[in-house]
Amino acid sequence: MTQLEERVGLELPPSYRQFLLFANGWGSDDECCLLRTEEVGWLREVDPLEAEIWSGPKADSWSVPDELYLVYGPEQESGHFRREYVPDTLLIGYWDDGVALLNPHVRTSEVSGKPGISHHG
């Protein structure tokens, strides 16, 4: 765990850290898995094409306001994400036709490093 945190240069959220200490990943294929500690890394380094696709400029929809972005739980909409954050997210897994990302830019009192994009649009 310490090696992963040193490699990426940040402290992982406590719940994700505990998950990795207990299970060190989940699943075994690229269709539906959470990566092992040695596979987790910055999206821009692990999958630069994916980072470029998701962060490419979009004239009027580059960012979303806080009231849409900072929604977590069942009412969260995966299309409300901030493209400018994408290259600086940690790739932590693959889910159906998308990726599971951890966003270190967003930290709240409840949870630090909120999950990111859940599917391709």
Q: Which residues have C-beta within 8 Å of that of residue 92, sequence separation ≥ 6?
A: 16, 34, 35, 40, 100, 101, 102
**Domain annotation covers residue 15:** yes
In terms of Cα–Cα distance, which of 51, 54, 31, 28 is closest to 41? 51
**Domain annotation covers residue 16:** yes
**Domain annotation covers residue 120:** no
pLDDT at 103 (0 to 100): 84
**Average model confidence (pLDDT) for the chain?**
78
**Domain limits at 6?**
2-115
For 50, the 3-state DSSP assignment is helix
What are the pLDDT digits (tens) for 41-69?
Answer: 999 999 888 888 877 666 555 677 788 87
**Domain annotation covers residue 121:** no
* Domains contained in the chain, number: 1
**Domain annotation covers residue 69:** yes
> Model's pTM, two decimal places?
0.72
Number of H-type helices and E-type strands within the chain: 5, 5
In terms of Cα–Cα distance, which of 19, 16, 39, 21 is closest to 29? 39
**Domain annotation covers residue 73:** yes
